[in-house]
């Protein structure tokens, strides 16, 4: 399960990075700075959210699976948000 989640996290991470780069390429300097700041805040929020979900299980293998799955879900959501920004322009 961890291998599958890890592989899918890699795929979705690449999709997020591609979408982020595309979004950045369409923005002026001020907008790029705002998106960069937003992305950093999102990473902090994602990590905190996923850590909280993982901590609720008290450790062990299940906690690791929950954390990895949360990262996956949040990455997919963020990619969709960025894609909506690109498509909405």
Tell me the per-residue pLDDT of 16-42, one tens digit each, with 9 for 90 and over: 999 999 999 999 999 999 999 999 999
Q: Is 10 exposed, middle or buried (0-12, 13-18, 19+ CB in 10 A)?
A: exposed
Residue 89: the pLDDT is: 59
- Give the separation between CA 21 and CA 88, rounded to whole angstroms: 16
Q: Is 53 exposed, middle or buried (0-12, 13-18, 19+ CB in 10 A)?
A: middle
State the average pLDDT for the chain.
94
Residue 3: the pLDDT is: 86
Mean local confidence (pLDDT), 36-59: 95
Mean local confidence (pLDDT), 6-15: 96
């Amino acid at each position: 399960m961890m291998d599958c989640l890890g592989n899918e996290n890699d795929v979705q991470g690449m999709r997020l990075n591609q979408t982020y780069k595309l979004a950045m390429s369409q923005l002026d300097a001020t907008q790029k700075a705002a998106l960069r700041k937003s992305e950093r805040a999102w990473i902090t929020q994602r990590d905190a959210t996923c850590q909280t979900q993982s901590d609720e299980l008290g450790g062990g293998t299940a906690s690791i699976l929950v954390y990895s799955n949360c990262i996956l879900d949040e990455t997919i959501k963020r990619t969709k948000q960025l894609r909506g920004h690109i498509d909405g322009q």
